[in-house]
Structure 1
Amino acid sequence: MSVDVSAQDIAQAYEHVRAKQLDWLLLTYGQTRDKLSLLTSGTGGVDELVKALPDDDVSFAFCREEEKDRSYFCLISYVPEKTNALVAARALVHSRAVAANFKAHHATMSAAKREDITTRSVRAKLRLDAQPRQRNLTQFDASDFEPQPSRIPVRADTLPNGLHARAATETPRSVSDSTLHHARTGTTPSAASGRPESPSVRKDDALPPPPPPPKDPDRDSWVPISSPTSMHHHTDSYGNGNAYPEPPSPTTTIPTIPDDGHSYYNPTLGRSSFAYSENSQYSQSTSTLHTDFARRQQQRLPPIPVPTPLPRGVSLPRKSLEERQREIESKRERERREMEELQRREREEQERRRRDRLEQQKREEEEEESRRRKEEQERRRWVAERQRKAEARRLEEERKAREEEERKAADMQRRVEEARRAKLRREAEERAAAEERRWREKEREDEERAKIERLKNIAVQFVAEAGGQEVALSGECTVQTSWSTTWRRRYFELNNETMTFYKHEADPQPLDVMRIKGRVRKIGTWKDGHDELQAIPHSFAVEFKDDEGPWFFYTDSEEAKDVLVGLISKACGLL
């Protein structure tokens, strides 16, 4: 169940991710079962990777995360929930092969849903912070605190001598250098100049607002700012349209801050917030803004000429009742036309809004219909793809079942053939074994007949040579009696009834006597069940008819054995 990950584009994408040229790569099976191919790659982080994941296919991803200018890599195995158990098990085995190929990974994770793969979860697997570290906000750029040039008019008499021209050209930027220096070093202007610090300068930079300026009775020295409300028309009780100006409102201005090294910038009050120490020579000459200053500055209207007031005792001629009536009717007609115009515009605006609303509704319906058609097409495509995969799986399962049946039939036929051959081989071996047994049995019978004949001849010969003596044969042999487990070398004398054993030839006292006449049942060898005689040459056993156990003998030669066996057999009547 190995998987092939040797494609050249996979290796190139892997090296690009390691070299920080890519953020991730994605591998899928495609139409194969044991070969992975590169589906896509990108630089958009984990969010882009999640969007590229296929819906129903098993895939493997290799992504990169940054922490303190160092790269960390994570290997992700995506097995959807609807994947069958066989494919999931194969994907588990293949994930190990992919991990062995992508050796640079620091962690691995498995997911069954897209929601499980997020930047937070990947960084948690890598044991990193939840989000990449941002710029330290405690550090600031000097350009953030540079005040903009002031465009506020300055009252001339508030500036000291020699600074009129200077105030017209200088801007607060000349002040910002020293104030930024004090803000960065944490010193006050008083401390920087060697003077005692004013109580108004607080350690925590939370400066109070500047004091209000003293009232100045000389209003003519202020520069007025024109506005539509600076001229008011009044009508006297007689209906005369006598117009006279009201005295202009005093316009307050902010003087330009001089570059005297005593200004102090408070960064907590904004870019253009400045304060002065108490012993500054300009702290008492500042003024406050008028409440409608900003509104008047924005209007920038040209100044309205001030009419000359009428001399005392001179008045304009009174209007007639008809003129006043015409003016009233004209005013009413003008108001009516204005109201109609407003109503017409309102109707047009409502009609336009209704058309826009209908068009918007139509666009939304068209978009909804388009979205529905796309969803229907996507659903049909998904159903067709699912049916195609199901049909492919069915054909694959049928092919596997057919191959399994063919393999079983071939195995059965092979086993039957092997059983038939084994039976024939066994029958042949049995026939050969039976033939060999018959041959060996015949050979043994022939040997037995030849042996008996030879023993008869030997017995007849020895009896003839004995000439009627009592002892037919004497000599030495090694014997083991039925009541002993030790072999003893003995001298024996054999006659027709007994076989007597002595310690040596000159010993007159017999040690053992074996009666043989009418008592011996059989004289056998190791082939007759006496396995202990197989390793002893020229050995034989004498078995008795009673309950006594067998006696074992062996001689010095095969000829001596044949003579002894023949005489014992002759004496006990076996020949």
Structure 2
Amino acid sequence: MYLHRSNSHSSFLHSMDPKINHAYKLVLNDRLRWFLFSTTDESYRLYSTGNSGIDELKEKVTQDEVYYGCLREKWQGKPRQILIAYIPSSLPGATRAQALDRARELCQQFKIHHGFIKAEETNELSSQALTSILRMGGCQECGQILRSMSEQSESHKPLPQPPLIRRTMTLSESMAPPLPPKDGDPLKNPNDPLFPRYAQSSSISAAQSRDKNAFVDDPREHVASRGYSRTNTESLTGEEMAEQEARRQHRLKQEKVASMQEYVLAEERRKAMLAQTLLEVANKRREREHEEAEAEKRHQIEVEAKRKADRERWIEKSEEAERWRLEQVKKAEAIAQGKEQDRKSRVEARQTKVRDILATSRAQGKDFLHSCWISVQKSDSVTWRRRYLVLDWNGLRLYRSGNDMTQPLETVFHQKLRGVKEWDEGYEELRSVTHSFAIEFLGEEAWRMYTESEADKVSTYTPLDNLRLRGWRRISW
């Protein structure tokens, strides 16, 4: 007999001390003889272990505590594991009921066992009770075993044997071979969980009724009663024997029909229960699939909404970036147009200034265009040199001063002038120098210059910028 699983089996497993499972493995591997564990506040803790048998285990048990354990004992040369539940009778009924439920959980936790002992007193834990448990097999209470053992020990007389019931055999029964056991009979399948209890009892009753009508007897009894049976058989006529045989066959047929009807009804109930179970499982599966489909649909909707929102944000950012780029292009175009307009204005102003200078020079009869003080910095020097500049039709001359103009320090003529540049045309270092500009030569480094006034700058810069295509040559003495 096996105990049924308790509803709190999961809590039993979760609160089990790992040392208990380790001790159970040691018992199975023949490395430990027994172990005990106790309960405290819904938890299970290893209490004691030993290797000396049930007497040593009993010494560790106290009177008013609940204990569970496992004991290894050899029976007929083979190791046997016996589960033990000590539940004192002095405890309240509710506590004992709860302890018994935990004992059932113990049978489910420790599946490899060959017996179960439920004891209420310490004297019920003895080797004599253990031997009786192993002899009977299954699960019993030690109190019942000890009481039955004491009753057997007090009774010295053997139990009376039941009287042998003799009956007259027909001629066909005496000549027929013994009926073989019906191993394939579906009525002898009480292990089916869906087979009802009354169907089991009915099938057993039917089997017993068939066995009673079969001639199964001790051969010695058969030999002793052979003459008596033959005498009664000879006294029956053929009609009586046929009638007796017909009644027996009719009775057997009715019993078989009744048994088959009970089996058919039980099978129909089992199939109905199975169909109901399958229907419930199918309904739960459909509900689960529907929930999963709805969850997947919601997830797809959320993903699509997020993708749409991300795309809208990307489009908005792209449009904003395009608008900013167009604004920058317009600004750049406006700046370029402004610079171009400024350049054209400067060119026109310079041309006008050049015409004025030429007209003034011709009117006064001068042989030069313009003269002024100017500071010059060459590319090979970091210092500024103050020189007196004279710009005429033949070239540009630099003197030490305006009073000493007999010999020029530098002369530029018949040389191609590459250009005259402002500070914002590649000479950033001249930005902080007022009235400054640069003269670029072909094949040589540029000169950097600045005048003392804006008028001198214009009068020098403008003729150089207009005459740069005529060709100048620079000669140093």
- TM-score bin, normalised by smaller chain: 0.3 to 0.5
TM-score by length of 2: 0.42
Structure (1 or 2) with the greater strand fraction: 2
Structure with more helix by fraction: 2
TM-score of the superposed pair, with normalisation by structure 1: 0.36
In terms of Rg, which structure is larger?
A: 1
